[in-house]
Amino acid sequence: MSVVTDSPVHSSGSDDFIDYLNEALDASSPNSSSDEEAENQDEFEDLSRNKRRKLESTEETEGSTSEGIVEQKLVVAESSVVKVDGCTHPGTFGKLCISCGEILDGESGVTFGYIHKGLRLHEEEISRLRNTEMNTFLFSKKLFLVLDLDHTLLNTTILGQLSSEELHLLNETDSLEDVAKGSLFKLEHMHMMTKLRPFVRTFLKEASAMFEMYIYTMGDRPYALEMAKLLDPQGEYFNAKVISRDDGTQKHQKGLDVVLGRDSAVLILDDTEHAWMKHKNNLILMERYHFFASSCRQFGFNCKSLAETKSDENETDGALAKILEVLKQVHCTFFEKLQGDLVDRDVRQVLSSVRGEILSGCVIIFSRINHLALPTLKRIAEQLGATCLTELDPTVTHVVATDAGTEKARWAVKEKKCLVHPRWIEAANYFWEKQPEENFFIKKTTTQS
């Protein structure tokens, strides 16, 4: 079978195409309309498909090299990838290589279904894109921010799980026509009701000036897209940047492999630490937003929810407002105060140094803490910049205990040191600033709140 010599894939010209068709189909009349061809080809189909396949594989090997190379050997096997100056296969769309059009069955690379269905990119291409992205964004002074949805930016409940004291909300929902003005939405088709966290719109607006934002949720894709429409009705923040659990590469874990930004420039805002095992250093832990009773119950709290008590988080003083300040501080430190090339700077270092200033100067001793909780508490305290000791010492500034009757607690009162509940440390962790110790004093009686 003769081989078409002068037809590398990327050259133009209908003459080449006609020659190629002639060779492939042994048909006498070249047809230009694809519709007619399809119908005429039934008889030739099987035979011609084989011939076409052979031709395709030979053409692939020629790739984008110059014309006039006479292919001596016929590569018949379709699956073998002969890399003779060939394509590097940077990615696939519907299993076709996006650069040469060859069918690739391999599973290498990462699926980017959230950008467009069927898109898959391989390692080299992902790194290349990450690097070019870095340069564009650093140039415009933007870092990356990955936002969780549930309990971080909003709280959703299923309509059937509304408690009796929350039923009044059904009449107070905001219109879905003018989403930008509302914060409580009923989604009939999904049987859900969603409440956006106070301050969220201002938060998104101000954060978008400093960060390129992504949504990453453990909900499924339809849910994620609905929420994105509520948070961002104009599509200016999260266009093609909504990652759902269908797009993650690992079950029950979130990862930065599907985010097109380098790890050293990404910050994560999430209420669940164990979803980000590989990226704990990028994580800013958020205090959970429990508006609905079903959410409180899910986490084991028996108190009344915000909806039941007809109250809400403070708008200007709530978690989102505080975290926005932290983000501004990290952003400013990254771009203004760090030395060296922009590409070498690491936002994780900035985050840990900002975190380490919160309780710096505090020397802490623990007393009668549940020994399952103790290692975590110690780790948090050390990350916040405190020094933890095990023996009483004159340099100790705080004694953290759950009971005011212990030896160390009594020593603290005697020496006029601060005696606080472990929640003082947790509050510092959530609010990113040292909390007044008066709010966390332990009462002498053993009943604790």
Partner 1 sequence: MQLHPRYFGRNLRDNLVSKLMKDVEGTCSGRHGFVVAVTGIENIGKGLIRDGTGFVTFPVKYQCVVFRPFKGEILEAVVTMVNKMGFFAEAGPVQIFVSNHLIPDDMEFQSGDMPNYTTSDGSVKIQKDSEVRLKIIGTRVDATEIFCIGTIKDDFLGVINDPTTV
Query: Looking only at residues 411 through 440 of this chain, which bind partner 1 when binding is defined by CB under 8 A?
Result: none
Provide, rounded to whole angstroms, the least separation between the CB of residue 199 and partner 1.
25
The sheet with strand 154-158 has its strands ordered as 154-158, 192-196, 184-187
Provide, rounded to whole angstroms, the least separation between the CB of residue 94 and partner 1.
3
Among 100, 134, 350, 404, binds partner 1 (CB under 8 A): 100
Strand partners, 364: 388, 398
x/- string (CB under 8 A) for partner 1, residues 172-211? ----------------------------------------
When asked if residue 37 is in the footprint of partner 1 (CB under 8 A), the reply is: yes
Among 1, 35, 66, 390, binds partner 1 (CB under 8 A): 35
When asked if residue 17 is in the footprint of partner 1 (CB under 8 A), the reply is: yes
What's the CA gap between 245 and 251, in Å, rounded? Answer: 8
When asked if residue 27 is in the footprint of partner 1 (CB under 8 A), the reply is: no
Pick the stretch among 4-12, 173-181, 374-382, 436-444 that binds partner 1 (CB under 8 A): 4-12
Query: Looking only at residues 122 through 151 of this chain, which bind partner 1 when binding is defined by CB under 8 A?
Result: 129, 132-133, 136
Q: Hey, how many other C-beta atoms are within 10 angstroms of the C-beta on 101? A: 13
Provide, rounded to whole angstroms, the least separation between the CB of residue 328 and partner 1.
23
Pick the stretch among 74-82, 92-100, 273-281, 419-427 that binds partner 1 (CB under 8 A): 92-100
What's the CA gap between 11 and 7, in Å, rounded? Answer: 7
What's the CA gap between 211 and 204, in Å, rounded? Answer: 10
Among 12, 66, 80, 370, binds partner 1 (CB under 8 A): 12
Nearer to partner 1, 229 or 368 (CB): 229
Among 5, 15, 47, 95, binds partner 1 (CB under 8 A): 95
Nearer to partner 1, 96 or 225 (CB): 96
Among 84, 159, 170, 240, binds partner 1 (CB under 8 A): 240
Pick the stretch among 98-106, 296-304, 354-362, 366-374 that binds partner 1 (CB under 8 A): 98-106
**Total residues binding partner 1 (CB under 8 A):** 39
Pick the stretch among 115-123, 155-163, 335-343, 428-436 that binds partner 1 (CB under 8 A): 115-123
Pick the stretch among 3-11, 161-169, 192-200, 285-293 that binds partner 1 (CB under 8 A): 3-11
Nearer to partner 1, 104 or 319 (CB): 104
Pick the stretch among 116-124, 144-152, 268-276, 284-292 that binds partner 1 (CB under 8 A): 116-124
Interface residues with partner 1 (CB under 8 A) are 9-12, 17, 20, 34-35, 37-39, 45, 52, 56, 90-91, 93-103, 115-116, 118-119, 121, 129, 132-133, 136, 236, 240, 260
